[in-house]
Amino acid sequence: MSHLHLDKAKTFAFSAHEGQRYGDKPYSVHLEDVVQLLGPFGLNAQIIGYLHDVVEDTDVTLDQLQNEFGVFVAQCVDILTDKPGSNRAQRKRQTYALMARVVGDHELALVVKAADRLANVSACVKSSNLKKFTMYRDEHEQFKNAAYRQDLCESLWHELDQLIGSAL
């Protein structure tokens, strides 16, 4: 993938999330935070970083994503998209079960997920959002059991573990 594809992913994601908010900021702020964390992991990680929430939070379909960005990117976004459930715990349980089975090249989705979670927890700390911080802290062990792979993105996990271990 090229920088042209990265620009396309950014434009596509910003357009899809148009009008959505991340706390009191435009949703694009969250996407930029995630992509910035993914810089050391390459262009594909950054492309998936921009697109990681488009299927879950907008009207974009996996078929549209595949047509625009290819099968691999669509498959990675699918891994990152919460599976159906009647509540957050049920959705996360199903999503984490899928993540736990991911192997090979698709583990890049797990790098993006670690960056996404780190961006979310960092935002909670910066804004002193105790409710969301507590939610992420309570989910952390289950999340890490599903998404962590040794030597895949240790720097992201180290920072995330540090934040989760801190008191807000």
Q: Long-range contacts for 81-84 (Cβ within 8 Å, ≥24 apart)?
A: 81/55, 81/56, 82/56
Are 105 and 139 within 8 A, CB to CB?
A: no
26 CB burial (10 A radius; 0-12, 13-18, 19+): middle
According to DSSP, residue 87 is labeled S
Residue 127: which H helix or E strand, with range?
helix 108-127
56 is catalytic: yes
From CA 162, how far away is CA 80, in angstroms rounded? 23
Dist. CA 74–CA 77, nearest whole Å: 5
Q: Which residue has the tokens 């062990």?
A: 141
Q: Which of 24, 53, 56, 116 is catalytic?
A: 56
Per the residue annotation, which of 57, 107, 139, 161 is the catalytic one?
Answer: 57
57 is annotated as an active-site residue: yes
Task: Give the integer Cα–Cα distance in Å for 88 and 146.
Answer: 16
Could you list the active site residues?
56-57
